[in-house]
Structure 1
């Protein structure tokens, strides 16, 4: 299969998982589909990286080395799949974590969009949202509890 076809298939494969995370986060199949898609793409990653690993110029020692490494289209595709897998996995975690903490999903959706488009920016946005809401909840819980009466 040519590289463009693999690229197109991988890009299309992640869409159902992202759409379910955004629009059906509590459906019992959402996490299975998102995580299963990430696992399937991890397998594609493994299959694609084995024949390219350690061949050709470049490496991870400097920005110049990384640029040389990713100048090869096969390695660029492997790198792209790497991003697709980790971004989808991160988005699935954000949804699970938000549900556990009872963060309103409508507030998580912008973080999911940012995670899909800009990976670490969306993850950071979710962590900021999570921290802000947890602090607010902690403050509300503290102020809503009456102090014990003196004896």
Structure 2
């Protein structure tokens, strides 16, 4: 079950990222990415987390000592396949949301797709690193845009 869910979430994220990087930027494409991509990943995460923490699936997934207050507690959460899939789905959902924000922000600031693509790919592979790079790249244009208003 966990391997199938892992494959499903990866495929869903990959399709959404491909649309984000390659498809025309139209409202319908953004809606597909937001609702069928981010939204479905968030729903999957929410249901799996609730089931995991309730002990309804992957018994031991929220094993003794599972908490968000210590390294040991976090390790306990990720100690099972269920915990890994839930955690991975969390990353996929948030990184895709950040990528969606970057693309919209970059479009609004007049950055071309050739500038965006490597930043989006980096966000896909290493979320915070891609976001950090985007924050640096956008800074000068963001200030210039703010002065015009």
User: What TM-score do the two structures reach when normalised by structure 1?
Assistant: 0.82
Alignment length, in residue pairs? Answer: 137
What corresponds to 2:63 in structure 1? 56
Stretch of structure 1 that moved more, 29-38 or 115-124: 29-38
Question: What do the CA deviations read for 1:13-32 (whole angstroms, capped 9, x no partner)?
Answer: 11221112111242333211
TM-score w.r.t. structure 2 length? 0.83
Which residue among 75, 80, 86 is the counterpart of 1:78? 86
Shift of 1:124: 0.6
**Paired residue for 2:124?**
116
Where in structure 1 do 4 or more consecutive aligned residues deviate above 6 Å? Answer: none
1:2-151 aligned at under 5 Å gives the runs 2-36=1-35, 37-53=37-53, 55-57=62-64, 58-134=66-142, 137=144
Q: Is the 8 A contact 1:103 1:133 kept in 2?
A: no
Alpha-carbon distance in structure 1 between the residues aligned to 2:102 and 2:81: 31
